[in-house]
Amino acid sequence: MEAKRILERANKGGITLRLLGGVAIGVSCVESTQPEFSRVYADIDFIGAGDEGKKIRQLFEELDYAPNKAFNGLHGRERLVYYDLERNRQVDVFLNIFRMCHTFDLRNRLRISPFTLPPADLLLTKLQAIEINEKDFKDIACLLKSKNVAPNDDADSINVEYISEICARDWGIYKTLTANLKELIDYVENKLKMHQDELRSKTNAIIKNIEEKPKTIGWKMRERIGERKRWYDLPEEKRSQAPTSGQVGSEASDTGHHPEIG
């Protein structure tokens, strides 16, 4: 798998790089090969350490990935975009900060797991989408099927305390995550009936922990405003198309935003 090849090269070079998105879930969950969870992964998403940005740029150039020069020039402190022109595939590299519909500072989460973000962060970065889709629900269900819901970080556990603490500080994240978790239950009951008892139980356990966690004063003040003020960001709705070799770095390829992750 191409993602593993990139990670192996990064590790050999002492570069902190971790997978996120659907590919990360596919790599870290044994259930991802089961028919009800398996799917095609179009692009690859990584997150790396911000102070290693130069090394990360060099890594992808050595691997013959074409940079989106205009986008990387504008946004390279937080995010880099590369293209595998031969396979028509895009690679996104976030640096420290995951910024889509909601923003998460993950710089202290990069060295917990060896190849991917920890399961709790994989769940957060999937659930944060405002326009969540079936692909996301399938990935989330696969993650929940494969991992335990526990108050700690390890390769086999979704740290529910960590998720709940984030939701207790930020009403917007709380609003989006709890809404999507409730939609997940509907999806499971309609599409994954063979796993519905286990998945419903784990999903409800996460919701319960989130709801019971004492909220901050800032959270309570924001709750009073509610939906009268938008609580999420709107990434550009259309992902840029991978350019031809002659277009890389041109004005035609100066955007790399997209509303979903792998």
Per-residue confidence (pLDDT) for residue 248, from 0 to 100: 52
**Angle, helices 196-212/160-169, rounded to nearest 10 degrees:** 50
Nearest to 188 by CA among 41, 37, 20: 37
The two tokens of residue 42 are: 């179009």
pLDDT in tens, 52-82: 999 999 999 999 999 999 999 999 999 999 9
Strands 17-20 and 44-48: antiparallel
Whether 57 is in a domain gets the answer yes
Residue 112 has pLDDT above 70, yes or no: yes
Task: Let me know: does 20 contact 121? Beta carbons within 8 Å.
Answer: yes
Could you tell me if residue 241 is inside a domain?
Answer: yes
Per-residue pLDDT tens digits for 113-160: 989 999 999 999 999 999 999 999 999 999 999 999 999 999 999 999
Could you list the residue range(s) of the whole structural domain that residue 182 is in?
A: 2-253
CA distance linking residue 96 with residue 155, whole number of Å: 21
According to the model, what pLDDT value does residue 256 have? 44
Domain assignment of residue 11, yes or no: yes
> How confident is the model over 211-250, as pLDDT tens digits?
999 999 999 999 999 999 999 999 863 344 444 444 454 3
Provide the number of structural domains found in the chain. 1
- Does residue 262 form part of some domain? no
Residue 165's identity, in one-letter code, is E
Q: Is residue 258 domain-resident? A: no
In a domain, 216, yes or no: yes
Q: Where are the beta strands (DSSP E) in the chain?
A: 17-20, 44-48, 66-67, 79-84, 89-95, 97-99, 103-105, 148-150, 157-159
Note the pLDDT of residue 235: 81
- Both tokens of 38, joined, read 């398996």
Helix axes 134-146, 171-191, angle to 10 degrees: 90
Q: Which residues pair with 89 in a beta bridge?
A: 84
Give residue 164's pLDDT: 98
Residue 251's pLDDT band, with cuts at 50, 70 and 90, is very low
C-alpha to C-alpha distance for 179 and 25, rounded to whole angstroms: 21
Average pLDDT of the segment spanning 23-36: 94
Q: Is residue 56 part of a domain?
A: yes
The mean pLDDT of 100-106, rounded to a whole number, is 97
Residue 260 lies in a domain: no
Is residue 140 within 8 A of residue 31, CB to CB? The reply is: no
